[in-house]
């Protein structure tokens, strides 16, 4: 059978779907086994031979010649085989060419359905294989459609679909068709019918990757990101550290005249970013995590719990709007933090606890 369109389709599948010729032929052989059974009653193996020069296809039903038939689908007796060709002997492959014109409508439809399903499975497996090492990475995508609150994107120009569900979308951020976005690849979602890449704009991983891309010192490992706490679209706290005394970790992240951090803020739509110097002393770390508020003293009250004392006029700043600043500090440090004003701490904890806090410090800005 000569068919130029068939060979053109093979090229298209390889280029657009990443399905190789061998994968397609294997899928076609599986489909032909089922179709051949519909036509002949035998589920024999099927082999396909291609001649690229002549653009021809040959399809064969194959059974093994045996002395005594056990599996009628896979085997044929020597006696029956020699009725077709005298030279056949035990162990030979008994082949019969299958002509496409011999297929009935039902057999042809069956082959088409099986082949289509098999190609979808191969495409899904290829998608999973291609992206299994992309989890946790930052990738560029293009918005292709928006349905039922979900944003569907094409990742990296590869025609691979990603989905960004509502919880992974930044509140207040608008998405438009053909818009290009940086997204964080959360995981590969293999549902059994198709593969989907789950992407996010709200993940702390997005902030981490943006800093790695923007700050060479982080990429090189000179500056280390210790922790990130984020309320997407509003505020992020990121704790960084360098054990090299010659490196200004904060300065490296901020950049000359704020260029580096401003680029990240711009990418995140104006989200505020607090860059916190990490400390191995947890109480000092808590004090810094409550930035931009000034903390007078941090007192450990239990395992992974502490009270942070702030000037009376800085209490609202330390807690933040709707408790956001304190909440992010808790997530950043993994400590339970109770923020108290100086006067309340004095009343509840006693003078001996707050005695070493200078009284005029509340007047400082």
CATH number at residue 73: 3.30.1480.10
* Per-residue model confidence (pLDDT) at position 115: 67
Same domain, 64 and 104: yes
Same domain, 187 and 225: no
- Within 232-304, strands assigned E span 235-241, 272-277, 297-302
Alpha-carbon span 344 to 310, nearest angstrom: 10
Alpha-carbon span 264 to 266, nearest angstrom: 5
Q: Domain for residue 334, yes or no?
A: yes
Alpha-carbon span 42 to 57, nearest angstrom: 21
The domain in which residue 333 lies consists of 290-365
Residue 232 sits in a domain whose CATH number is 3.30.300.20
Alpha-carbon span 51 to 60, nearest angstrom: 14
Q: Domain for residue 352, yes or no?
A: yes
| Pick from 277, 282, 288: nearest CA to 300 | 282
What secondary structure letter does DSSP report for 202? S
> Which distant-in-sequence residues (6+ apart) come within 8 Å of 77 by Cβ?
65, 66, 67, 68, 69
Same domain, 124 and 160: no
Are the C-beta atoms of 298 and 283 separated by less than 8 Å?
yes
* Per-residue model confidence (pLDDT) at position 362: 42
- CB atoms under 10 Å from CB of 335, counted, come to 21
Same domain, 216 and 305: no
More confident residue, 69 or 117: 69
- Is residue 213 very low, low, confident or very high in pLDDT (cuts 50, 70, 90)? very high
Q: What is the pLDDT of residues 14-30, one digit of tens each?
A: 666 666 777 777 777 67
- CB atoms under 10 Å from CB of 41, counted, come to 10
| Pick from 224, 24, 190: nearest CA to 115 | 24
Same domain, 18 and 79: yes
What proportion of the chain, given as a percentage, has pLDDT over 70? 75
| Pick from 63, 66, 65, 68: nearest CA to 43 | 63
Same domain, 124 and 15: yes
Q: Domain for residue 127, yes or no?
A: yes
- CB atoms under 10 Å from CB of 89, counted, come to 10
More confident residue, 112 or 254: 254
* Per-residue model confidence (pLDDT) at position 190: 64
Q: Domain for residue 234, yes or no?
A: yes
This prediction has a pTM of: 0.69
Look at residues 104, 131, 158 and tell me which one is the last residue of a structural domain: 131
* Per-residue model confidence (pLDDT) at position 365: 40
Same domain, 93 and 52: yes
Question: In 3-state terms, what secondary structure has residue 365?
Answer: coil
- Is residue 209 very low, low, confident or very high in pLDDT (cuts 50, 70, 90)? very high
> Rounded to 5, what percent of the chain is helix, strand, coil?
40, 30, 30
Same domain, 83 and 175: no
- 3-class SS letters over 41-95: CCCCEEEEEEECCCCEEEEEEEEEEECCCCCCCCEEEHHHHHHHCCCCCCCCEEE
Are the C-beta atoms of 195 and 135 separated by less than 8 Å?
no
- Written as six digits, the tokens of 136 are 């946790």
- Written as six digits, the tokens of 270 are 């104006």
- Written as six digits, the tokens of 333 are 């440090």
Question: Whole-number mean pLDDT of the chain?
Answer: 83
- Please say if the pLDDT value at position 217 is more than 90: yes
Q: Residue 239 forms beta bridges with which residues?
A: 227, 276
* Per-residue model confidence (pLDDT) at position 127: 66
Domains: count for the chain: 4
Same domain, 16 and 119: yes
Q: What is the pLDDT of residues 51-65, one digit of tens each?
A: 667 666 777 788 899
* Per-residue model confidence (pLDDT) at position 290: 97
Same domain, 211 and 192: no
- Please say if the pLDDT value at position 111 is more than 80: no
Q: What is the pLDDT of residues 145-204, one digit of tens each?
A: 999 999 999 886 556 788 999 999 999 899 999 999 999 999 876 665 556 789 999 999
Are the C-beta atoms of 298 and 309 separated by less than 8 Å?
yes
Q: Domain for residue 165, yes or no?
A: yes
* Per-residue model confidence (pLDDT) at position 364: 42
Look at residues 200, 218, 244 and tell me which one is the last residue of a structural domain: 200
Q: Domain for residue 249, yes or no?
A: yes
Same domain, 34 and 80: yes
What proportion of the chain, given as a percentage, has pLDDT over 90? 51
* Per-residue model confidence (pLDDT) at position 162: 87
* Per-residue model confidence (pLDDT) at position 55: 66
- Written as six digits, the tokens of 109 are 């439809």
Q: What is the pLDDT of residues 301-349, one digit of tens each?
A: 999 999 999 999 999 999 999 999 999 999 999 999 999 999 898 888 7
- Written as six digits, the tokens of 118 are 């098999």
Are the C-beta atoms of 140 and 178 separated by less than 8 Å?
no
Residue indicated by tokens 């090189």: 220
Q: Domain for residue 283, yes or no?
A: no
- Please say if the pLDDT value at position 74 is more than 70: yes
Same domain, 153 and 226: no
* Per-residue model confidence (pLDDT) at position 295: 94
Q: Domain for residue 316, yes or no?
A: yes
> Which distant-in-sequence residues (6+ apart) come within 8 Å of 165 by Cβ?
149, 150, 198
Look at residues 253, 278, 303 and tell me which one is the last residue of a structural domain: 278
Question: In 3-state terms, what secondary structure has residue 144?
Answer: strand
- Please say if the pLDDT value at position 104 is more than 60: no
């Amino acid at each position: 059978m000569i068919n130029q369109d068939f060979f053109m389709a093979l090229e298209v599948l390889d280029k657009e779907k990443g399905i190789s010729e061998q994968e397609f032929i294997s899928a076609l052989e599986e489909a032909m086994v089922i179709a051949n059974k519909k036509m002949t009653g035998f589920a024999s193996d099927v082999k396909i031979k291609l001649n690229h020069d002549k653009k021809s296809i040959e399809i064969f039903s194959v059974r093994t010649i045996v002395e005594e038939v056990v599996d009628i689908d896979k085997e044929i007796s020597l006696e029956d085989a020699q009725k077709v060709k005298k030279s056949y002997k035990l162990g030979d492959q008994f082949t019969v060419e299958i002509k496409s014109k011999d297929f009935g409508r039902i057999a042809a439809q069956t082959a088409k359905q099986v082949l289509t399903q098999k190609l979808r499975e191969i495409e899904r497996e290829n998608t999973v294989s291609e992206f299994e090492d992309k989890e946790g990475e930052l990738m560029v995508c293009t918005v292709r459609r928006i349905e039922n609150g979900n944003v569907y994107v094409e990742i990296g120009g590869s025609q691979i679909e990603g989905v960004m569900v509502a919880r992974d979308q930044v509140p207040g951020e608008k998405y438009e068709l053909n818009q290009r976005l940086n997204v964080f690849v959360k995981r590969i979602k293999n549902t059994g019918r198709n593969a989907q890449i789950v992407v996010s704009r709200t993940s702390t991983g997005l902030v981490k990757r943006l800093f790695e891309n923007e700050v060479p010192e982080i990429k090189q490992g000179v500056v280390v990101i210790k922790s990130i706490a984020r309320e997407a679209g509003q505020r992020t706290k990121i704790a960084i550290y360098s054990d090299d005394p010659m490196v200004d970790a904060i300065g490296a992240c901020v950049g000359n005249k704020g260029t580096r951090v401003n680029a990240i803020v711009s990418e995140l739509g104006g989200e505020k970013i607090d860059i916190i110097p990490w400390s191995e002393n947890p109480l000092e770390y808590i004090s810094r995590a409550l930035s931009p508020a000034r903390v007078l003293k941090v007192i450990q009250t239990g395992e992974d719990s502490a009270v942070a004392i702030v000037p009376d006029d800085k209490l609202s700043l330390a807690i933040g709007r709707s408790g956001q600043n304190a909440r992010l500090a808790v997530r950043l440090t993994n400590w339970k933090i109770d923020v108290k004003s100086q006067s309340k701490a004095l009343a509840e904890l006693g003078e001996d606890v707050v005695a070493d806090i200078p009284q005029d410090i509340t007047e400082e800005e």
